[in-house]
Structure 1
C-alpha cells in the first residue's frame, strides 16, 4: 500500500487528556486504573475512568446526541488542536472530501440503561427525551463527529469488538485509495457502562486487581474508556504536520494494515494464534517490511490467560526478541477505542523515540518467551507494530513508521 500520513492525532484516557499528559504518564510508567466506583456497578474490579466526562454536555446545537460516549468524544476532539486541524482539512479539500471512520463497541448504550430506569410505570414506554438513533445506535458516533464538523463525506462506524478502532484505519484507507475522499477523521471512542462491566464479569474475564498483561499472575482484564482520533491524509511534501512539531522528513506514516477473521470462537482466540499471525503477516506484507524491520510491538495484551498465550505464539512464530509491551496495564482495555488509543501510543513512541513500559506487569510469564518491556526507555524506534484482536477472531494489525526511515520498498508519494 502507499503510506498515508498521520498529520494530527490526540488521545484522552484515564492516564490523561491530550498528548502531553499521555506522554508524561507513558514516560513515567504510570497507570490510571482505580477501584471501580462506577454508578451501580457493585463489582470487585479496577477500571480506567476519564474524570470529568459528564461535566460538559455536547454542543448545544447537537443536544440530541448528548450522552456519555459523545461527551467523551467531544472532550477528545477539543484536545491538541485536533478540531482546528480537521476544520483546516475541510476548508482545504471541501466538506464532502473528508470522511469519518470510527470504532466503538457499545456506543452510547449507557443512555439506554438510564432511559430504562425512567420507563413509564404503566405502559413501560421509554421517556420522550430518549434519542436512540443519536445515542445508542452504533452509527451515532460517526453521525455526531460528522455533524460536529459539518462534514458530508462518507462516514461509517466499525463495531468489531476490540479491533474496531484499528479496523477504522482500514476502512479509511480503502476510501482514500479509491479516490472518494482526500482525508479522514479516524479513531475510536468507547465509554464505560453497566452492560460492558457486567457483561465481561459474566464471562469471568474481569480481574479483581489492576490487570497485569503477560504476567505470570495475570487474572483478567481491567476495563477503561477513551477517545482517540487521527487525521489521515496522503503525504504532502513540505507540509508541516503533527501539531507543528514534524517536518515532512520525520512525519509519522501509516505503512501497513493487516486484517483477518479466524472465527474460531465467539469470545476466545484461536489457541495457536493463527488469526493474529495472519493479521500481522498482512500488515508486514502491505508495508513491504519483514519482521526484522519492526522496532517495537504494542501488544493487544488483554491480560487474560488465553489471549496473551495466543498472541505470544503468533509473535514468536515471526519475531526474534523484538521489544514488546501492552499499555492496557496503564489505560485499561478500552474495547472499541483500544486500537486507536494504542495507535496514538505507537505514534508517540515514534515521535519521541522511546518504548513504553507494560505498566502493572512485574514478572513476565517465561513460558510466553517475549522481550517484555518493564520500564519505559529511550530507544531508536523507526517502525511500530500495533495489534488489536477482537471477539469472534476479528483481528487487525497496524504498522506505523517515520517517513525518513521507511524501508523495504514502501512508496512514500
Structure 2
C-alpha cells in the first residue's frame, strides 16, 4: 500500500436498523437485533438477523429488471446515512470512469431462484418472470449498483463466502494503486434465503438460541443479512473536514485451503492474513487497540481463530477482542464490510464493542474477550478479521488519523 485510503463515507444496514445510528446505539449498549426465525417458509429452530423494511423498498422503474430481495436491501443500504449522495459527489469529483466498484456477496438474489423453482411447469421450465442474470447471478449486485450510479469504471463482485466484502477493500486498494481508479465504492450485500438457512442447518452449524461467540457453551451461528458500504479515496483527493478521519491502513489475504467448510485448527491461514495486514500497515501487534473477531460462535471457528490471534498477538496478549455477530448475526458475504464499519465507528467514537451473548468465556480461547461495552477514547488502530469457507481469509487494519 503506497498510502492509506481515507473512508470519506461509510454506512451499514443490519438487523439493528437502517444506517449507522441504530448500530452505534447497539454498540454502546450491547444490544442484539436477533429474533426467532420466521423467515419465509423456513421451519428451523434457530435465530436470525432480519433487516426490517426490505419488502417495502421499490427499485427505480428503469432498473425493475433487477428486482429481488438482495437488490432491495442493496438500495436500502445505499440510501442510508447520505451514502448514495456522497458516492455521487465523489463520482462528480473524479469522473464516472475513475470510480471503481467492488462489492461482496455469497448468495446474491438466490431467493428469487428458489421462488422460481417452486413454479416450474410440468416440463421443468422456469417461469418467464425469472431472470438469472439480473437476480441470482453474483455479478448482478455490482451491475445493479453500477447502473444505479451511472458508473463506467472497473466494477465487479467478489464471492469468497464470508471474506467476500473484506476482500473488496483489498481489491479496491490494488485498483487505485495500479492507477485504474482514483476512488472506490466498496462493500457487501447478502440477504436471507432458504438455501443459506437450510444449508447451515444441514451442517449442524445453526444455534437454537441467539449465537454466543466465545462462550464455553456456544451452539453455533445465527444467520443475518446486511448491506454495508464505504467510499475509499486517496488522502490527497479526499475532501477535508477538519476532523479526525478513518483510513484503511492495511490489509492481508490468505488461502489455506485446509477444508471445504472447517478452518485450520491452528488458524494457519488466519495468522497469515493478520500478519500481512499488520506489515502492510507498518504496525506491530502492540499498536492494535482492538481486534474485531470473525467469531461465528461455532465450536471450531472460535477455537481456531483464538489460536491464530493468540499467536499473532503473543506480545500483546491482553489486546481487547470481541465478535459483534451476537448483535447482527453472521451476515456472510456482507460481514467483512459490516465489521469494517463497526471498526470505523469504534475508532470514531472511542469504544470497544462487546461480544454480545457471551456469558461464560471459553477457557480454551486464550483471548481478552470484551464482555460489555467499554469506552476507549485513546483507540487508534483496529484489526478486523473475516474468514470464509475453503480457507479464504482476509484481515483489515483501520486507523484513526487526527486532523492536522
User: Normalising by the residue count of structure 1, what TM-score does the alignment of the two structures yield?
Assistant: 0.95
| Residue 216 of structure 2 corresponds to residue 216 of structure 1 | yes
Matching of residues 36-115 of structure 1 within 5 Å: 36-115=37-116
Match of 2:280 in 1: 286
Deviation at residue 366 of structure 1 after TM alignment: 1.6
SS at match of 1:186: strand
Match of 1:147 in 2: 147
The CA distance in 1 between the partners of 2:402 and 2:289, in whole Å, is 15
| Residue 267 of structure 2 corresponds to residue 266 of structure 1 | no
Any idea what the Cα deviations from partners look like across 1:292-325, whole Å, max 9, x if unmatched? 0000000000001111011010111122110000
Aligned 8 A contact 1:296 1:355 in 2: yes
Match of 2:226 in 1: 226
The CA distance in 1 between the partners of 2:244 and 2:52, in whole Å, is 34
Aligned 8 A contact 2:347 2:399 in 1: yes
Aligned 8 A contact 2:104 2:188 in 1: yes
Any idea what the Cα deviations from partners look like across 1:22-63, whole Å, max 9, x if unmatched? 101111100000000011100000000001111122111100
Aligned 8 A contact 1:211 1:219 in 2: yes
Deviation at residue 238 of structure 1 after TM alignment: 7.9
The CA distance in 1 between the partners of 2:205 and 2:40, in whole Å, is 20
* C-alpha spacing 1:238/1:198, structure 2 compared with 1 (3 Å): closer
The CA distance in 1 between the partners of 2:284 and 2:194, in whole Å, is 42
Q: 1:303 aligns with which of 297, 307, 329?
A: 297
What stretches of structure 1 of length at least 5 have no aligned partner? 241-245, 406-411
The CA distance in 2 between the partners of 1:269 and 1:275, in whole Å, is 8
| Residue 368 of structure 2 corresponds to residue 374 of structure 1 | no
Match of 1:392 in 2: 390
The CA distance in 2 between the partners of 1:345 and 1:236, in whole Å, is 25
Deviation at residue 236 of structure 1 after TM alignment: 3.0
Any idea what the Cα deviations from partners look like across 1:319-350, whole Å, max 9, x if unmatched? 21100000001100000000000000000000
Any idea what the Cα deviations from partners look like across 1:77-118, whole Å, max 9, x if unmatched? 000010001111111111011111000000000010011112
Deviation at residue 166 of structure 1 after TM alignment: 0.1
Match of 2:117 in 1: 116
Aligned 8 A contact 1:384 1:400 in 2: yes
Match of 1:20 in 2: 21
* C-alpha spacing 1:69/1:16, structure 2 compared with 1 (3 Å): same
The CA distance in 1 between the partners of 2:364 and 2:95, in whole Å, is 53
Q: 2:400 aligns with which of 382, 391, 402?
A: 402
**What RMSD, in angstroms, separates the aligned Cα atoms of the two structures?**
1.2
Aligned 8 A contact 1:206 1:222 in 2: yes
Deviation at residue 237 of structure 1 after TM alignment: 7.1
Aligned 8 A contact 1:16 1:25 in 2: no
The CA distance in 2 between the partners of 1:235 and 1:286, in whole Å, is 17
User: Normalising by the residue count of structure 2, what TM-score does the alignment of the two structures yield?
Assistant: 0.97
User: Following superposition, which runs of at least 4 residues in structure 1 exceed 4 angstroms of deviation?
Assistant: none
Match of 1:277 in 2: 271
Match of 1:243 in 2: none
SS at match of 1:81: helix
Deviation at residue 152 of structure 1 after TM alignment: 0.8
The CA distance in 2 between the partners of 1:305 and 1:238, in whole Å, is 43
